[in-house]
């Protein structure tokens, strides 16, 4: 038995474990992605749609898709709607809003769960609420909720050049990842008791 070889192999294994924990920052987060408890199923796609905001203003959406989201709060019919608005130095910044259809399938009552705004590099970002104070935004330095382990989270000022100092954190996805937008909306609605 070569004790020196065993000792060297153990040291390499210990070093790899320490390096893995050090690269994650706090050494507490799991390496595997956290499974999201919300299942999302795409339904039909629709064309234009209009929504009247509580202040009376109407917004036209150029495309929408229906989803069914099922999680702790049960199944819910959700619509992801796309529009353009002026924001952060761009006249036609795209955005996707996740709306919950309240009532049955024929209901015309909707509640917006979350909004993903086009970033300067073409991805889409949504505000992350603080779990203990869901009307407040998560800021750089706040503990990151477990659901964001292995997901892209960035500061607002890194996503939008026109924001000089923005320490709020945003959840970032690609344009095609509407299912992840719906999951985020479901999580936000759960925090804010919107069911």
Per residue in 67-100, pLDDT (tens digit) is 999 999 999 999 999 999 988 777 889 999 999 9
DSSP per residue over 40-88, as a string? Answer: EEEEEEE--EEEE-TTS-EEEESEEEEEEEEETTEEEEEEEEEEEEEET
Average pLDDT (50-67) is: 95
Residue for token pair 């985020």:
184
- Gap between the Cα atoms of 54 and 21, Å rounded: 48
Query: pTM here?
Result: 0.80
Is the model's pLDDT at 31 over the cut of 50? no
- Gap between the Cα atoms of 129 and 147, Å rounded: 12
Query: Residues 96-125: pLDDT tens digits?
Result: 999 999 988 889 999 999 999 999 999 999
The pair of three-digit structure tokens given for residue 181, joined into one six-digit string:
């937008």
pLDDT bracket for residue 14 (50, 70, 90): low
C-alpha 103 chain-centroid distance: 25
pLDDT score of 69: 96
Query: Residues 141-191: pLDDT tens digits?
Result: 999 999 998 999 999 999 998 888 889 999 999 999 999 999 999 999 999
pLDDT score of 23: 45
The pair of three-digit structure tokens given for residue 84, joined into one six-digit string:
């353009």
pLDDT score of 34: 60
* Strand pairing category for 58-61 and 153-155: unpaired
Q: Please, what is the Cα angle at 117 between 112 and 120, to 5 degrees?
A: 175
pLDDT score of 46: 87
pLDDT score of 190: 96
């Amino acid at each position: 038995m070569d004790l020196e070889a065993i000792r060297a192999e153990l040291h390499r294994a210990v070093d790899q474990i320490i390096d893995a924990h050090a690269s994650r920052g706090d050494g507490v987060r799991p390496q595997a992605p956290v499974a999201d408890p919300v299942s999302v199923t795409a339904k039909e796609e629709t064309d234009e749609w209009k929504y009247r905001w509580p202040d009376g203003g109407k917004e036209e959406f150029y495309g929408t898709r229906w989803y069914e989201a099922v999680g702790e709060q049960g199944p819910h019919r959700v619509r992801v709607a796309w529009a353009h608005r002026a924001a952060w130095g761009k006249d036609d910044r795209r955005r996707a809003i996740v709306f919950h259809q309240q009532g049955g399938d024929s209901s015309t009552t909707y509640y917006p769960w979350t909004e993903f705004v086009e970033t300067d590099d073409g991805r889409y970002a949504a505000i992350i609420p603080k779990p203990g104070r869901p009307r407040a935004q998560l800021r750089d330095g706040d503990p990151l909720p477990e659901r964001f382990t292995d997901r892209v989270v960035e500061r607002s000022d890194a996503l939008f050049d026109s924001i000089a100092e923005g320490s709020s954190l945003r959840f970032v996805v690609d344009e095609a990842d509407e299912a992840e937008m719906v999951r985020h909306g479901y999580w936000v609605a759960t925090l804010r008791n919107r069911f």
